[in-house]
Structure 1
Amino acid sequence: MPDTALPATAQEGARVLAVSDSAAKRVAFLIEHEGDPALMLRLTVSGGGCSGFQYGFSFDAAANEDDHVFEKNGVKVVTDDASLDLLAGSTLDYVEDLMGAAFQIKNPNATASCGCGNSFAA
Structure 2
Amino acid sequence: MTLPPKVTDRAFARLAEIAELTGEVRPLRVAVDGGGCSGFQYSIWLDDPAPDDLVLEKDGQRVLIDQISLPFLRNAIIDFTEELIGARFVVQNPNATSSCGCGTSFSI
Equivalences, count:
108
AA in 1 matched with 2:94: P
Within the alignment, does 1:77 sit opposite 2:60 as a pair?
no
- The counterpart of 1:112, out of the listed 62, 80, 98, is 98
* AA in 2 matched with 1:42: R
How far did residue 48 of structure 1 move? Answer: 0.6
How far is 1:30 from its partner? 1.4
Q: Which amino acid aligns with 1:93?
A: D
Q: Does 1:48 align with 2:72?
A: no
Question: 1:14–1:72: structure 2 CA closer, same or farther, 3 Å change rule?
Answer: farther
Q: Percent identity?
A: 45
TM-score, normalised to structure 2, is 0.90
Partner SS, residue 86 of structure 1: helix
Query: RMSD of the alignment, in Å?
Result: 1.5
Counterpart CA distance in 1 for 2:96 and 2:59 is 27
Give deviations 1:95-120, integer Å, cap 9, x for gaps: 11333222110101101100000110
Gaps of 5+ in 2: none
TM score, norm. by length of structure 1: 0.81
CA contact 2:78–2:90 (8 Å) conserved in 1: yes
- 2:4 is aligned, of 7, 16, 22, to 16
